[in-house]
Amino acid sequence: MRYCSQCGSGVTLTVPEGDNMPRHVCAECGTIHYQNPKIVVGCIPEWGDQLLLCKRAIEPRYGLWTLPAGFMENGETVQQGAARETLEEAQAQVEVGALYALFNLPHINQVYMLFRARLPAPEYGPGAESLETQLMSESEIPWDEIAFPVIHESLQLYFRDRATGRFPLRTGSIRRLEGQARRYEVLIEDNAA
Amino acid sequence: MRYCSQCGSGVTLTVPEGDNMPRHVCAECGTIHYQNPKIVVGCIPEWGDQLLLCKRAIEPRYGLWTLPAGFMENGETVQQGAARETLEEAQAQVEVGALYALFNLPHINQVYMLFRARLPAPEYGPGAESLETQLMSESEIPWDEIAFPVIHESLQLYFRDRATGRFPLRTGSIRRLEGQARRYEVLIEDNAA
């Protein structure tokens, strides 16, 4: 950020009075421009014992598999956002259920929220951002071709929980290890209260 | 938003190619300025059968009671943000536990996430944004002086659950009713899966 989005003057990075973090502040009009994490919402769409996955038609991670998910928009709920992304990326209507996975990705300022969701019918297809969509049973998941660590981790937790028949909320954090391409640290919390 | 924060030129509200929502787009440098919901993180700090509440020293809702909560910052996890807000507003160190309440506030583009948290000691006090902090048992909660509907609702759910000894994740949405000051519609989801 270099210019004030309110008045067009230059901004400077400074700690405002009463604050303890540097912010982009406009010296001209005084506007403080906060920057905050974004929410990524998505679904784990279930049809019998199969899940609906999408092959990415866009960068990053073109050609790899993921769950339907994307940035939450203003004016919607997290559940509506998860359903919208599933419709956009996999052309599938879903009934959104309980929140299953909540992951922090602090190195890229994102919070992932993945919901279990029910496909009322096996009707789906690739949206504009997908090359292909496919219902997969556990044995068909292409574990070496999953686009993002957060999706890989969520799917692994999901199948482990499914074997027990219970799906408690799973929370954790995934951090990229510094100086190493595609190496991550994964922390899963124990939420037993 | 009136000016591009990258180049300082004027922005126009238009639907970018391949998108389906109007965005602030810079005609000069092409930057698309997305606006997304913000996350508010906070704690329900427990000491025995008491909860730690804060009396607000700032607008909106100056002088009314709330739980320690505020906007999540870049670079932190939701749990770290909840602990930071509790330290800032109530000068209390907490051990953050499980996520308890997840609320959509789509009319103001916010998602609230409140965590159960344990005070290791009854040590607390008003931070810069609080007039007063107080441990309260259920019978002491000033129900008519709670700052925000989302906090009122979360506290009510909390005490109802506490009576059963179980704290499942509670999710819902709160919408301001149009044309009516301080009238809200509250929807609580049934997450039994």
Structure-block tokens of residue A102: 């909540």
The pLDDT, as a whole number, for residue A96 is 97
pLDDT band at residue B193 under the 50/70/90 scheme: very low
Residue B120 CA, distance from chain mean position? 23
- Altogether, the residues listed in chain B come to a count of 193
pLDDT band at residue A180 under the 50/70/90 scheme: confident
Give the model confidence (pLDDT) of B102-161 as tens digits: 999 999 999 999 999 999 999 999 999 999 999 999 999 999 999 999 999 999 999 999
Q: Looking at beta carbons, which residues of chain B come within 8 Å of A105?
A: none
The pLDDT, as a whole number, for residue B191 is 74
ipTM of the predicted structure? 0.95
Q: Minimal Cα–Cα distance from B83 to chain A, Å?
A: 15
Residue A171 has pLDDT above 70, yes or no: yes
pTM of this prediction? 0.96
- The whole-angstrom separation of Cα B77 and Cα B80 is 5
Q: Minimal Cα–Cα distance from B50 to chain A, Å?
A: 17
| A60 upstream amide cis, omega within 30 of 0 | yes
Question: Which residue from B minimizes the CA distance to A173?
Answer: B77
b/e B138-170 (16+ beta carbons within 10 angstroms → b): eeebeeeebbbbbbbbbbebbeeeeeeeebbbb
CB of A13 within 8 Å of a chain B CB? The answer is: no
Q: Looking at beta carbons, which residues of chain A come within 8 Å of B193?
A: 97-98, 116, 167
CB of B13 within 8 Å of a chain A CB? The answer is: no
Query: Which of B18, B79, B191 is closest, CB to CB, to A98?
Result: B191
Kindly state the average pLDDT of the residues A153-182. 94
Residue A81 has pLDDT above 50, yes or no: yes
Structure-block tokens of residue A27: 């010296």
pLDDT band at residue A7 under the 50/70/90 scheme: very high
Q: Minimal Cα–Cα distance from B167 to chain A, Å?
A: 8
Q: Looking at beta carbons, which residues of chain A come within 8 Å of B1?
A: 5-6
DSSP state of A62: T
Query: Which of A7, A76, A171 is closest, CB to CB, to B99?
Result: A171
Which amino acid appears at position A124 of this protein?
Y
Is A189–B79 a contact, with Cβ atoms under 8 angstroms apart?
Answer: yes
Q: What ranges do the domains of chain A cover? A: 1-35, 38-189
Q: Cβ(B85)–Cβ(B54) under 8 Å?
A: no
- The whole-angstrom separation of Cα A78 and Cα A71 is 10
Is A36–B72 a contact, with Cβ atoms under 8 angstroms apart?
Answer: yes
Domain spanning B38-189: which superfamily? Nucleoside Triphosphate Pyrophosphohydrolase (3.90.79.10)
Q: Minimal Cα–Cα distance from B182 to chain A, Å?
A: 19
Q: Which fold has domain A1-35?
A: Ubiquitin Ligase Nedd4; Chain: W; (2.20.70)
Quick check: helix, strand or coil at residue A74?
Answer: coil
Is B3–A2 a contact, with Cβ atoms under 8 angstroms apart?
Answer: no
Mean pLDDT of chain B: 96
- Altogether, the residues listed in chain A come to a count of 193
The pLDDT, as a whole number, for residue B192 is 60
Kindly state the average pLDDT of the residues A161-176. 96
The pLDDT, as a whole number, for residue B153 is 98
Give first-to-last CA distance, chain A, whole Å: 42
Kindly state the average pLDDT of the residues A1-19. 94
pLDDT band at residue A193 under the 50/70/90 scheme: very low
Sheet-wide strand order for B11-14 = B11-14, B23-26, B32-33
